[in-house]
Amino acid sequence: MPVRHGLLTLLSRGPRHGYQLRVEFEASTGATWPLNIGQVYTTLSRLERDGLVKPGESDEQGRVVYTITAAGREEMVRWFSTPVIHSDRPRDELVIKLAMAVAAKKVDVAEVIHKQRTATMRALQQLTRAKRAATEGAAQRLVLDSMIFQAEAEQRWLDHCEAVLKEER
């Protein structure tokens, strides 16, 4: 669970309250993963239940400050030392759409590819603009880079589909 481990990592830098965690989480992911404050508190109470964080006193504004526990630090280390496996990632609508377009025979596949390629390029242009405007440091830019690489992979795959289908005809 990336939110859970993200919060643990932020807490490893020192005690923080929920609102602070939310702000820091969003800043370091370039606001690409918005969190609502309810999500933050739900996650914190689960972390507390599992003994990974513990609540301290409230500050002058009544906000509870959380501290990471030794078990929490161990869990964070385990997270960073385990690679992410994408085996159960959700199926991609575009892949299914193209496969169906090819199977259906009556659909103009080239047209589906053209439309998608232009749309994906627009998305890529937007991401690139966001990256140029990014001011919150390397973490934010790298998150945007990740989306840029993904959009680029989709674009390449579309080119590949076009070339292969052209040969088939």
Partner 1 sequence: MTFVRLAEVARVHGEGATAVHALKGVSLEVDVGELVAVMGPSGSGKSTLLNLAGGLDRPTSGTVHIGEQDLATMRDLAALRRRSVGFVFQDLNLITSLTAAENVMLPRELDGLRSSLARKEAMAVLAEIDAEYLADRFPDELSGGQRQRVAIARALVGERRLLLADEPTGALDTRTGDEILQTLRARSDAGAAVLLVTHEPRYAAWADRVVFLRDGMITDTTDTSLVSAP
Q: Using CB under 8 A, list all residues that contact partner 1.
A: 114-115, 117-122, 124-125, 127-128, 132, 148-149, 151-152, 155-156, 159, 163
Sequence-distant (≥ 6) Cβ neighbours of residue 102 within 8 angstroms: 109, 165
Nearest distance from C-beta of residue 121 to partner 1, angstroms: 5
Nearest distance from C-beta of residue 109 to partner 1, angstroms: 14
- With beta carbons less than 8 A apart as the criterion, state whether 112 and 98 touch: yes
Q: Which is nearer to partner 1, 48 or 136 (CB)?
A: 136
Query: How far, in Å, CA of 114 to CA of 109, rounded?
Result: 9
List the one residue out of 22, 122, 116, 152 whose CA is nearest residue 130: 122
Nearest distance from C-beta of residue 145 to partner 1, angstroms: 8
Nearest distance from C-beta of residue 123 to partner 1, angstroms: 9
Residue 74 φ then ψ, to 5°: -60, -45
Q: Which is nearer to partner 1, 54 or 114 (CB)?
A: 114
Cα Rg of the chain, angstroms: 22
Q: Which is nearer to partner 1, 52 or 98 (CB)?
A: 98
Q: Hey, is 32 helix, strand or coil?
A: coil
Other CB atoms within 10 A of residue 146 CB:
14
Q: Which is nearer to partner 1, 1 or 138 (CB)?
A: 138
- With beta carbons less than 8 A apart as the criterion, state whether 29 and 143 touch: yes
Nearest distance from C-beta of residue 124 to partner 1, angstroms: 4
Q: Which is nearer to partner 1, 68 or 127 (CB)?
A: 127
- With beta carbons less than 8 A apart as the criterion, state whether 68 and 11 touch: yes
